[in-house]
Amino acid sequence: MTELAVETWQLTRHFGSFVAVNAINLRIPKGCIYGFLGSNGSGKSTTIRMLCGILQPTSGSGSILGLDIAKDSEAIKANIGYMSQKFSLYHDLTVLENLEFYAGMYQLSGQQKQDRIAEMIAMAGLRGRENELTVNLSGGWKQRLALGCAILHRPPILFLDEPTGGVDPKSRRMFWDIIYDMAAQGTTVMVTTHFMDEAEHCDQLGFIHQGNLIASGTPNELKAALTGTLVEIATTDPIGLLNEFQGSHLPVQDAYVYGTKLHVLVEQEQLALLERWPYQIIAPTMEDVFVQYVQNNRREG
Ligand SMILES: Nc1ncnc2c1ncn2[C@@H]1O[C@H](COP(=O)(O)OP(=O)(O)O)[C@@H](O)[C@H]1O
Ligand SMILES: [Mg+2]
């Protein structure tokens, strides 16, 4: 049996009468990069905050490395790394001062403290910029500094809440390279994102929609579970074409606007029905896969 780093049982959080997270059962193996995907407001941060012992569940329970998220929140905080959506840096402190502040919080001292700080400065590519004010760093540098602050104490598990929001593509790639390295060394990483392309970086995924975990598995398992042939139709008016499609009552499984194009899911035998449009058969992206799970969930629910 694989050892689990994170396990939850019917984990639930209400805000008043609103159900932000609804009876979620997560199982994240040790050493895994687990991507938690969902659109804005779907309950990602609320889940992460419960797992990190920052927010009490309304009902249900969870365990992080054998620690109870409701009862052992102090021990959990000492044993995890957490990088919030807002990066939690002190903008009026320098790079070095931010790292020193977090080192103090994790009770690092002496040579060990100096060594870890130097290691993080190198990791973040911030050598030579130690005395710059954090406020003056651009998004990618801030992001890597925030990561450095979150992993100074070498936590065995790391929670990253939308770490790549507002960061340029090159920095996003650099960031993922660091995450791969950490996972290769045995760190468990749970990362939330609404960038579906980043899902391909993960070993396992969970899709969350309106507080419900609607699918989970490896990227390939999630793709393979969908049936049908996906086609893309180029058009200058995707919304108009979608309306036309919906009005035509063709027996397609699904049709939706995808960027500036229309994506249509049909059964192989029905492809002929699309003859009058210039369509192209394509492989589904993770975004397509996500849309399908959300649609299936809506139909069932
Ligand atoms: N402290 C709070 N009080 C009331 N509602 C909240 C609070 N925190 C989050 N919510 C609501 O719960 C839902 C899920 O929020 P969140 O977990 O932040 O979503 P995500 O991180 O996926 O964007 C949203 O509708 C949000 O408005
Ligand atoms: Mg969030």
Residue ending a domain, among 180, 196, 217, is: 217
- 9 with 121, same domain: the answer is yes
Q: Tell me: do 71 and 32 sit in the same domain.
A: yes
172-183: pLDDT as tens digits: 888 999 999 999
Residue 250 belongs to a domain: yes
Is the residue at 293 inside a domain? Answer: no
Tens-place pLDDT, residues 230-282: 999 998 998 998 998 888 888 888 889 998 999 999 998 888 888 888 899 99
What is the reported pLDDT for 131?
Answer: 97
CB contact set of 229 (below 8 Å; sequence gap of 6+): 265, 266, 267, 268, 271, 281
Domain membership flag for residue 233: yes
Q: What is the pLDDT of residues 18-35, one digit of tens each?
A: 999 999 999 999 999 999
Ligand 1 atom nearest the C-alpha of 48 is 17
Put simply, whether the predicted model's pTM sits higher than 0.85 gets the answer: yes
Give percent of the chain with pLDDT exceeding 90: 72
User: What phi-psi label fits residue 173: left (phi over 0), alpha (psi between -120 and 50 degrees) or beta?
Assistant: alpha
Q: Work out how many domains the chain is built from and give that number.
A: 2
Kindly state whether residues 212 and 238 are assigned to the same domain: no
pLDDT per residue over 92-114, tens digit each?
A: 999 999 999 999 999 999 999 99
- Residue 218: phi and psi, rounded to 5, are -75, 160
**Claim to verify: residue 236 and residue 145 sit in the same structural domain:** no
Residue 212 CB neighbours (<10 A): 18
In a domain, 242, yes or no: yes
Residues 247, 120 share a domain: no
Domain coverage including residue 234: 227-283
Domain assignment present for residue 299? The answer is no
- The closest of 260, 263, 268 to 285, measured between CA atoms, is 263
CATH number of the domain encompassing residue 141:
3.40.50.300
44 in contact with ligand 1, CB cutoff 6 A: yes
* pLDDT value, residue 300: 81
| Spacing, Cα 184 to ligand 2 middle (Å) | 26
Burial of 72 (0-12, 13-18, 19+ CB in 10 A): middle
Residue 116 lies in a domain: yes
What distance in Å separates the CA atoms of residue 143 and residue 161, rounded to the nearest whole number? 11
Looking at the fold, whether 36 and 171 belong to one and the same domain comes out as yes
Q: 266 and 207 in one domain?
A: no
Whether residues 59 and 206 fall in one domain: yes
Whole-number pLDDT of residue 259: 87
Structure tokens at 118: 């130097």
Residue 34 inside a domain? The answer is yes
**104 and 191 co-located in one domain:** yes
Pocket of ligand 1 contains residue 46 by CB under 6 Å: yes
* Distance from C-alpha of 119 to C-alpha of 52, rounded to nearest angstrom: 25
- 246 with 205, same domain: the answer is no
Is it the case that residue 1 has pLDDT exceeding 70? no
What DSSP designation does 45 have? H
**CA 162 / ligand 2 centre spacing (Å):** 7
pLDDT confidence tier of residue 296, bands split at 50, 70 and 90: confident
